[in-house]
Amino acid sequence: MTEIPTNTPVIELHNLKKRFGIGDAEHFALDGIDLTINSGEFIAIMGPSGCGKTTLLNILGLLDRSTDGEYKLDGREISTISARRQAYIRSHQIGFIFQSFNLIPRLSVIENVALPLTYKGILQTKRLKIASRILHNFHLGEREYYMPSQLSGGQTQRVAIARALVNEPSIILADEPTGNLDSRSSHVIMEELSDLHKRGNTIIMVTHNPRLTSYASRVITMLDGKINTDTKSADDETIPFTDITPTAVKKRKKVKLVRPWTKRRHKSKATLVSSNRRKK
């Protein structure tokens, strides 16, 4: 794994909390997160379903606000930044890959990919040219004028990723970007992210697939809205799953039910670990 000089903090979180519901239904999706992410890091976030990963990404991506605590982006406290400026940051600095694709159904593939460029003020011809180039990189060249409904799940996810990368964001937030892809497509995506990482971009990726953490420079596991472990190494051996591996093996059956597409890799102990945590 390449070591990248990571010194300037881009994202600083201090005691970050997010509460949903009120009264009896009150529930903290994030319950005191302290985290510093330096520029150029490639972070993989793992953890069981419902532990707050998506909520954290939404807050990092300025789509949602924390209930309590501090979030500094490039040294500036987010709550002091105007909504307009936040939109500008989303447009110029942040690329979002959603868990559920979120393509606009009435726009063609290429129009979807070109969409973020609209809000950078780039004109249509240039937009389509840039979008076309990135679609070719993702082997979607012949699908440019398809509608999203005409694509397979894997293709849709690749389009969604292409769209997130099109405005060359310095921070990429990816919520299970390879969740629906076979291993070949997964690696195409991961190579692309890895390439962006090598060029100095900051990447924060939620994944359920421990194999993919080998691309990351730092692996964070979450549990019940808190950070559980935080390991600054991409080495498989140093990720501390060992303590819970035995329980995980017992629940192998459940794994298939919950995430059927991980079936072919179910022998990977890491897969089982993450699934196990989800059940806790």
Partner 1 sequence: MRFLFINHLQNARQSLRSNRMRSYLTMLGVTIGVASITIILSLSSGAGKIVGDQIDSLGGNITIIRPGSPQTMSTNLSQIKPQRNFSASSLTEYDLGVIKDIKHVAAAAPIMIISGTIKADNTAPSDSSVVATTPELQTISNLKVQTGQFLDSTIDKNTVVIGPQLAINIFGTDQAIGKSLTVHGKALTVIGVLKRANDPINYNSVDFDNAAIINLEVGKQLGLGQPQIQQIDVRSDSVTNLSGVIVDLNKALLISHGGENNFSVLSGDQIAQPTSQLFFALAGATTAIASISLLVGGIGIMNIMLVNVAERTREIGIRKALGANNGDIAAQFMIESIAIGIGGGVSGYILGYVIAFAISTFLTFQPAINWQIAAIAGFISIVMGTVFGLYPAFRASRKDPIESLREYS
Ligand X SMILES: Nc1ncnc2c1ncn2[C@@H]1O[C@H](COP(=O)(O)OP(=O)(O)O)[C@@H](O)[C@H]1O
Tell me which residues touch ligand X (CB under 6 A).
20-21, 29, 49-55
Residue 61 C-beta: closest distance to partner 1, Å: 7
CA distance readout (Å), 61 to 9, 29, 41, 96, 160: 16, 16, 16, 7, 16
| CA 65 distance to own-chain centroid | 18
In the complex with partner 1, which residue's Cβ is closer, 116 or 177? 116
Q: Looking at 17-25, 49-57, 211-219, 252-260, which segment touches Mg ion (CB under 5 A)? A: 49-57
According to DSSP, the β-strands at 27-38 and 171-175 are unpaired
> Which of the residues 82 through 101 are near partner 1 (CB under 8 A)?
83-84, 86-88, 90-92, 96, 98
Question: Is 1 an interacting residue with respect to partner 1 (CB under 8 A)?
Answer: no
In the complex with partner 1, which residue's Cβ is closer, 64 or 224? 64
Q: Which two tokens stand for residue 18?
A: 């997010």
- Residue 3's SS3 state is coil
In the complex with partner 1, which residue's Cβ is closer, 87 or 249? 87
Binding mask 103-132 for partner 1 (x = CB under 8 A): xxxxx---x---xx-xxxxxxx--------
Question: Is 148 an interacting residue with respect to partner 1 (CB under 8 A)?
Answer: no
Closest CA to 34 of 50, 51, 14, 20: 14
Closest CA to 74 of 144, 183, 170: 170
In the complex with ligand X, which residue's Cβ is closer, 28 or 215? 28
According to DSSP, the β-strands at 218-223 and 202-206 are unpaired
In the complex with Mg ion, which residue's Cβ is closer, 47 or 116? 47
* H-run or E-run covering 79: none
Residue 261 C-beta: closest distance to ligand X, Å: 17
Using a 10 angstrom Cβ sphere, with 0-12 exposed, 13-18 middle and 19 or more buried, the burial of residue 224 is: middle
Residue 111's binding partner, choosing from ligand X, partner 1, Mg ion, none, with beta-carbon cut-off 5 to 8 A by kind?
partner 1
> Which of the residues 51 through 110 are near Mg ion (CB under 5 A)?
54
In the complex with partner 1, which residue's Cβ is closer, 52 or 210? 52
Residue 242 C-beta: closest distance to partner 1, Å: 36
Q: Is the Cβ–Cβ distance between 43 and 205 less than 8 Å?
A: yes
Residue 244 C-beta: closest distance to ligand X, Å: 18
SS3 for 15-77 is EEEEEECCHHHCEEEEEEEEEEEECCCEEEEECCCCCCHHHHHHHHCCCCCCCEEEEEECCEE
Interacting residues toward partner 1 by CB under 8 A: 58, 61, 63-64, 83-84, 86-88, 90-92, 96, 98, 102-107, 111, 115-116, 118-124, 163, 167
